[in-house]
Amino acid sequence: FMSKKEAKAVEKTGMLRGGDEGITHFTTNKFRTKESAKSKLSLKNDPETRLDFKILNKPKVKGPTEVKPAYKQRGGGVEYRTLDRVRVRIIRKKGLR
């Protein structure tokens, strides 16, 4: 779940977060609305896009863990995280309502 700008970076680079360094978070949850994704994943900003993807490399992944409340959101979703770069093949791109 991400902004349209970040989704374009993933499409261009084939890497989650556009290959930027730092912690990469992702989920196996498939929320249908931006409100539910924002709330359950404790996101600061409204997500605009859901990308379904297949991971192509072998990043060292921690999780699953339950998302903690943050940014006045309730959390409770599932998250995985890694410090490694995550190479992906996009399966589906879906705009959120």
Task: Please write the tens of the pLDDT for every residue from 35-62.
Answer: 999 999 999 999 999 999 999 999 999 9
pTM, two decimals, is 0.92
What integer is the mean pLDDT of 89-93? 97
Contact 50, 31 (CB under 8 A): yes
Cα separations (Å) of 73 from 19, 61, 67, 86?
A: 27, 24, 10, 26
Distance between CA atoms of 10 and 49, rounded to whole angstroms? 12
Nearest to 68 by CA among 41, 87, 94, 36: 41
